[in-house]
Amino acid sequence: MNVPASDRPLLLPPIAPIADPELHARLQHRIDRKTKPTGALGRIERLALQLGLILRSETPVLHAPQVLVFAADHGLAAQGVSAYPQEVTWQMVENMLAGGAAISVFARQMGLALTLVDAGVAHDLAPRAGLVSRKIARGTQDASLGPAMSAAQCRDAIEAGREIVHGVPGNALLFGEMGIANTSSAALLLARLAGVPLADAVGRGTGLDDAGIAHKQAVLERALARHPDATSPLDALAAFGGFEIAMMVGAMLQAAHERRVIVVDGFIVGAAQLVACTLAPALHDYCVFAHHGAERGHAALLRTLRAEPLLALELRLGEGTGATLAWPLIDAAARMLGEMASFESAGVSDRGQ
């Protein structure tokens, strides 16, 4: 019997835990025998251990790292929850493609490949190099009036994210996003899936004043009340999420399935990670959290995710900028394992016994 496309179940890829006691012991011994006092490189040592476990190597090499920026529009923008109009989404995508956005500059500086994904921008973007078109629709619906997307659209977005990752090279993916009003979707997902009060989840986004934040919170309270039964991760994602968030969920699931390093940017990418980890808890250990941002809900999200971010630079831009700025530290951790001398190889005397 043929199953209608709208009723086709979502198939989630298996994700293997990174835990490997024998490899863990070898990696820790290797780190401890580097020419330094034990633990002297602090967080970099823990990061090196994580990279070795993800990539199953005592000398991990990060090759062909990719920045993937997923862009889409949100129906909630019609409720005035952002300081900027909706057309800024497509205008900023054009700016990124032209090389003028912050993420464009930082990716160039770091030598990182940058790909923009049209997950659901409410504008027709001309095909060109660096742009992947997987538009589900021209933006989601208004979540304060009904579901942001249908179950079929949510499934299609997740599957598209998986397909995109399967088609790109490299063993490390840096995630970013662009979408006016997507801090509202992230706040709703955080509130529903983690039980965080909206007052602790709603922030200034693109620069709202105090009155704007109060209005935004009132709109989101209505949206939460509109969908009392959307408690599972997929139901909440369909009710509140954006196409870019849903596509990142699928992309992260596929990346962990393929044992790639996942670099999580800020609040919105973190909300996608929250959904993905609720679906597949083993995914968490594949994730490196780039920074602690200035958006109000990000602190609560990081606590929920048990995350240990690398940077605290008061960022709230999104786009993958925090992930890209953290990249040199991630690369340094891998290089420390592979290139730094040991006491034995360097002929350096160890501490006295």
Q: Which residues are catalytically annotated?
A: 319
- Map tokens 């012991």 to a residue: 25
- Give the separation between CA 200 and CA 191, rounded to whole angstroms: 9
- Residue 276, C-beta contacts closer than 8 angstroms, at least 6 positions apart: 248, 249, 252, 253, 256, 283
Alpha helices in 227-284 (DSSP H): 233-240, 243-257, 267-279
At position 128, the amino acid (one-letter code) is: R
| Neighbouring C-beta atoms of residue 311, cutoff 10 Å | 16
Contacts of 107-112 with C-beta under 8 Å, sequence gap 24+, read: 107/67, 107/320, 107/324, 110/324, 110/327, 110/328, 112/65, 112/66, 112/67, 112/174, 112/324, 112/327
Residue 325 CA to residue 320 CA, distance in Å, equals 9
How does strand 113-120 pair with strand 66-72? parallel
Return the ∠ at Cα 158 (arms to 156 and 161), rounded to 5°. Answer: 110
Residues 60 and 47: their CA atoms lie apart, in Å, by: 12
Q: In whole angstroms, give the CA distance from residue 247 to residue 135.
A: 10
CA distance 2 to 4: 6
* Sheet with strand 131-133: strands edge to edge: 131-133, 113-120, 66-72, 172-178, 261-264, 287-289
